[in-house]
């Protein structure tokens, strides 16, 4: 890891961001955490991080930052943080690098890079993958693209947060493109996991038994092994929410339509996630898509009784 990385401002201390911020602290970096949720900032301070709880503190932190890492939800939130009222683009010093980790279409990354360059700032298109556990361990995969100077400026932070940094090009765009390929597969595999496990329940097999067996057979996938235990435990907490895959598979569908491509598997998975959201499950874990299958088949899942119609939104 580079020992020249200066102060870091970290914006977005949610399920993924908190672990990433703590990984930076563990690597010895000077990190100031910012989040709309005061309790998250308090927890970050307990881990040894600095926090900026008011506008004056935010301005001071940004004025001395060499790296700003954004772990927000989508392009609209990234736009707001960068260029909205009080946006960081006018507060960061010349030469600072913005590391953007949200999932959105590549054209947004290209636009953000160009606009920041006009202000003397660097931009790294750097979507993340791996989940909250790997984020906390500093073992994420980062799909990154940007100018060599942006990689150099962010290197210490990247190495602290990631097990693997894929360098996918010298301009923004390819990082985001690769991430939506990943999300196509991830969304399909989660929906397939939910479908397979509820199908198995209909065949009289216990969920935990299926997870144990299939995880060691050819039909497994990383998502099956990661998400299957949640369904087996009746754990529908939002480790990653249904609404995230409504968004991400929606991006895939829009990109495919623009390219005149057919993505029927992604469309089918998106329909399942849309059904879960419409049933009030949008803020539950993405595995809550299994509840849709279970309701349709009048099946009971662990923690979810047969014919359960309770809203989870």
Residue 301 DSSP label: B
237 phi and psi angles, rounded to 5 deg = -65, 150
C-alpha radius of gyration, the chain, whole number: 20
Instruction: Give catalytic residues, as residue numbers.
Output: 179
Q: Which tokens belong to 213?
A: 């067996």
In 3D space, the residue among 242, 253, 232, 247 whose CA is nearest the CA of residue 292 turns out to be 242
In 3D space, the residue among 145, 161, 50, 154 whose CA is nearest the CA of residue 95 turns out to be 154
Strands annotated E in 155-249:
162-167
95 burial level (CB within 10 Å; 0-12, 13-18, 19+):
exposed
User: What is the distance between the alpha carbons of residues 265 and 281, in angstroms, rounded to a whole number?
Assistant: 22
User: What is the distance between the alpha carbons of residues 310 and 192, in angstroms, rounded to a whole number?
Assistant: 23
- Are 20 and 40 within 8 A, CB to CB? no
3-state helix, strand, coil in the chain (%, to 5): 55, 15, 30
């Amino acid at each position: 890891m580079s020992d020249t990385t200066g102060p870091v401002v970290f914006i977005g201390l949610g399920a993924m961001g908190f672990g990433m911020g703590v990984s930076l602290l563990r690597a010895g970096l000077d990190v100031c955490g910012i989040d709309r949720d005061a309790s998250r900032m308090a927890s970050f301070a307990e881990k040894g991080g600095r926090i900026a709880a008011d506008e004056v503190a935010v301005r001071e932190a940004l004025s001395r930052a060499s790296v700003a890492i954004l772990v927000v939800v989508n392009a609209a939130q990234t736009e707001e943080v960068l260029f909205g009222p009080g946006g960081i683009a006018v507060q960061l010093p010349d030469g600072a690098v913005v590391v953007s980790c949200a999932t959105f279409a590549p054209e947004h990354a290209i636009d953000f890079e160009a606009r920041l360059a006009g202000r003397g700032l660097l931009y790294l298109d750097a979507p993340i993958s791996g989940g909250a556990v790997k984020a906390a361990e500093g073992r994420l995969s980062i799909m990154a693209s940007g100018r060599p100077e942006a990689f150099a400026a962010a290197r210490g932070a990247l190495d602290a947060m990631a097990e693997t940094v894929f360098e996918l090009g010298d301009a923004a765009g390819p990082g985001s493109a690769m991430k939506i390929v990943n999300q196509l597969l991830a969304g399909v595999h989660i929906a397939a996991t939910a479908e397979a496990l509820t199908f198995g329940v209909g065949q009289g097999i216990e969920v935990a038994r299926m997870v144990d067996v299939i995880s060691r057979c050819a039909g497994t996938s990383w998502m099956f092994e990661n998400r299957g235990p949640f369904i087996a435990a009746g754990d529908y907490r939002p480790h990653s929410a249904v609404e995230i895959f409504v968004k991400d598979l929606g991006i895939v569908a829009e990109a495919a339509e623009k390219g005149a491509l057919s993505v029927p598997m992604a469309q089918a998975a998106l329909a399942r996630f849309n059904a879960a959201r419409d049933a009030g499950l949008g803020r539950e874990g993405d595995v809550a898509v299994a509840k849709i299958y279970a309701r349709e088949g009048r099946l009971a899942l662990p923690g979810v009784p047969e014919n359960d119609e309770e809203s989870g939104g």
